Chain A
Amino acid sequence: MNPTNYLVLASVLFTLGAMTVLLRRNAVIAFMGVELMLNASNLALVHLSRHHGDLQGQVLAFFVMVVAAAEVVVGLAIIVAIFKTRRSASVDDADLLKG
């Protein structure tokens, strides 16, 4: 199989995730987009690791997973807290940082 296909797939997944983050208002959906971007980059890392024949990329992919797990915990907690106070999960409603 053409090794470029893995990279194309990773790019497509990453773009989908980025678009989700940028375009969807629901915080949970946006969050899923972030996960998708992380996993797209994991795919690229693992593929390139195998392609180059060393383990660095795979080790890095494990780190990304650990960080993603931690991020999910914190991120979901924040989303729940925002939902409790504002009765809304829309990221556009929480604009207190507007200058």
Chain B
Amino acid sequence: MPDVEALAPALVAVPLAAAALLLVLGRAADRWGHWLAVLASWAAFVVGAVLALDLLGRPAEERVVDVTVGRWFDAGSLAVDAGIRLDPLSITFVLLVTFVGSLIHVYSVAYMAHDRDRRRFFAYLNLFVAAMLLLVLADSYLLLFVGWEGVGLASYLLIGFWNHRTPYAVAGKKAFVANRVGDIGLLVAMGLLLAHVGALDFASVDAAARSGALSEGTLTAVGLMLLLAACGKSAQFPLQSWLGDAMAGPTPVSALIHAATMVTAGVYLVVRSASVFDGAPTAQLVVVVVGAITLVFGAVVGCAKDDLKKALAASTMSQIGYMMLAAGLGPVGYAYAIFHLVTHGFFKAGMFLGAGSVMHAMDDEVDMRRFGGLARLLPVTAVTFGLGWLAILGVPPFAGFFSKDGIIEAAFVPVEGAPWRAWVFGLVALLGAGVTAFYMSRLFFMTFAGRRRWSDGHDEGRGTAPAPAGAHPVGTPAPVHHPHEAPLLMVVPMVVLAIGSAVLGLVLATRGFTTWLEPVTGHAEHEEPVLPVPVIIAATLVVVAAGLALAALRYARDEVPVVPPVGTALTRAARVDLYQDAVNDAALVEPGTHLTRTLVFADRAAVDGAAVGVGALTVRAGTAARRAQTGLVRSYAATTLLGVVVLGGVVLALGS
């Protein structure tokens, strides 16, 4: 095919142009703006699909194509080209972002139908798609950074989309600040690479890292800084606290940005920097540890949240922890990290859209304790959500089974010189699967199964609505809702994503997805885990079944109290994100506030004092000198005369 790669810049340009157009035209585009955005997103998907087919048509060793767009800037001896790298990794991301993104665009047309700022919302969505595509297509860290900041900006704008409500605006700011902390890591990493390699494009960095031109210490430093960046963007420990609050944004945003795509950028960065991490075992170990901590952290928080979206956010955090863990394992894990990322993109986006559909039906109620029994009223939502639920649980043959099981197996692969790692990380990943099964089943059962814990206003006397005595405290009657299935524009994307959740894992696993990524991730020799593979699979399934059964007993069979029980100390801690915000406040915000106050005081006292003091002194000196100016000619004359006499005296005294 003649030069299909020349189309690559259009991937970024089309959504960016659409976003600019929508923002510039303002209210003039209100009537049709959302359709333009949908069109731009689908156009990007078509271009991405054409490029993907082109890559598939090549032999495996020619599947890395660099397209130089032009000289970006010269700065002394540093010349930076803007270029696009098409390879299996970037094209996988392109397809994921544009396909899931386009579906969510379609969904949003209906979901945001009653919002007067729908056009602005779509402009931001397109801006996000453009920035994300730039991030994954860039052929250098510097251009990647532009996309990196772009998605951060789009995320900020969309979390705070309903910024007339102060907590939402604050949530956007929190996400932005947490991301900034991570960005420092990326900047420092780029500085280190510039100092030691002299270039920032992936080709040069890969060559330098693989040839051994960089010391292990340098690679470790770069790796750790890249990890910091990844932690910020992917909501990994210790920078994870923003993700829960990010649910303030409209639900399609949570689905697209804070579940399927942007938060996976950190995993992308680690996999993209495979050459750096492969040469820095310490940095890899830290990546694995961060992934394992976040995995457990998110799972524990997910068990306690009653807010539907926040529980899903905790689950996202935990699943990205899986991906990070896999990415830190090196070549055995890279492919599974990306594999899980893709399947997770589908099933988590599907579940978030399902959550949006539930909220749509229940007048924006998000408290799962006020749901229950929705499966009969929202059958399509329940089925599509259910498929996503089975996928995230890792029930065969749904998508999560293939990807998550791959990660668990990879975690059990022994590392030379550190036999404990295979056991520790393998067991963490295994137990994490069980906890995941518990909290996702809890979420599913509380929402769709059991008895209604709300009222549609007609059912007094039928005995279904009023919850058992004691469930409602006095004065809080069951909320009145009239649930209804969502319009077609919302249902279709949910169905498509649910089909993806169901079959994508099987399709990709049998079509050799992991070998498809080899041009980027490198070939991994198959290594035997410390336990036989069938044993691991069986153990995973047993743990998942146990989690599922426990949740079924507690939340489907037993009555769910409408008022949260006091719970154990762990539950109470998990409800407040394991005191993450409190720790951040105590460790960073409070000292920061004190430092600021001290600095402000010092500024007022010393700096301002000096400046104001000089001014006051001048004024006082002026006032004193002013007295001499009487305005009387004769006094001036007398002064002159006095001066002459004094001068004459001096001349006489000196001249003698």
Per the 8 Å Cβ criterion, residues 74-99 of A in contact with B are 91-92, 94-99
**In the assembled complex, A21 has its CB within 8 A of some CB on chain B:** yes
Q: Say yes or no: B633 contacts A94, CB within 8 Å.
A: yes
**In the assembled complex, A22 has its CB within 8 A of some CB on chain B:** yes
> Number of A residues contacting the other chain (C-beta, 8 Å)?
14
Bound CA–CA A91/B635 (angstroms): 11
Nearest CB in chain B: distance from A85 CB, A = 16
| B163-171, B364-372, B621-629 - interface stretch | B621-629
Q: Say yes or no: A22 contacts B632, CB within 8 Å.
A: no
Q: Say yes or no: A95 contacts B638, CB within 8 Å.
A: no
Residues of A within 8 A of B641 (CB): 18, 22
Bound CA–CA A98/B634 (angstroms): 13
Q: Say yes or no: A99 contacts B629, CB within 8 Å.
A: yes
Residues of B within 8 A of A91 (CB): 632-634
> Number of B residues contacting the other chain (C-beta, 8 Å)?
13
Per the 8 Å Cβ criterion, residues 606-656 of B in contact with A are 625-634, 637-638, 641
Bound CA–CA A27/B637 (angstroms): 13
Bound CA–CA A97/B625 (angstroms): 14
Bound CA–CA A97/B632 (angstroms): 8
Residues of A within 8 A of B634 (CB): 21-23, 25, 30, 91-92
Bound CA–CA A99/B629 (angstroms): 5
Residues of B within 8 A of A18 (CB): 641
Contact of B626 among A22, A92, A95, A99 (CB under 8 A): A99
Q: Say yes or no: A96 contacts B631, CB within 8 Å.
A: yes
Residues of B within 8 A of A30 (CB): 633-634
Q: Say yes or no: A99 contacts B632, CB within 8 Å.
A: no
Q: Say yes or no: A95 contacts B637, CB within 8 Å.
A: no
Interface of A is mostly: loop
Residues of B within 8 A of A92 (CB): 632-634
Nearest CB in chain A: distance from B312 CB, A = 76
Q: Say yes or no: A98 contacts B630, CB within 8 Å.
A: yes
Bound CA–CA A92/B638 (angstroms): 14
The chain B residue sitting closest to A94, CB to CB, is B633
Bound CA–CA A98/B625 (angstroms): 12
- Per-residue interface assignment for chain A, residues 19 to 49, with 1 indicating a CB less than 8 Å from any chain B CB and 0 otherwise: 0011101000010000000000000000000
Q: Say yes or no: A22 contacts B629, CB within 8 Å.
A: no
Residues of B within 8 A of A94 (CB): 631, 633
Q: Say yes or no: B628 contacts A99, CB within 8 Å.
A: yes
Q: Say yes or no: A22 contacts B637, CB within 8 Å.
A: yes
Nearest CB in chain B: distance from A78 CB, A = 11
Residues of A within 8 A of B633 (CB): 30, 91-92, 94
Besides the known contacts A92-B633, A99-B628, A99-B631, 13 further A-B residue pairs in the complex with CB atoms under 8 A apart = A18-B641, A22-B634, A22-B637, A25-B634, A91-B634, A92-B632, A92-B634, A94-B633, A97-B631, A98-B630, A98-B631, A98-B632, A99-B625
| A interface residue numbers (CB < 8 A to B) | 18, 21-23, 25, 30, 91-92, 94-99
| B interface residue numbers (CB < 8 A to A) | 625-634, 637-638, 641
What 10 A-B pairs are tightest by C-beta distance, nearest first?
A: A98-B631, A99-B629, A95-B631, A99-B626, A97-B631, A91-B633, A21-B637, A22-B638, A22-B634, A95-B632
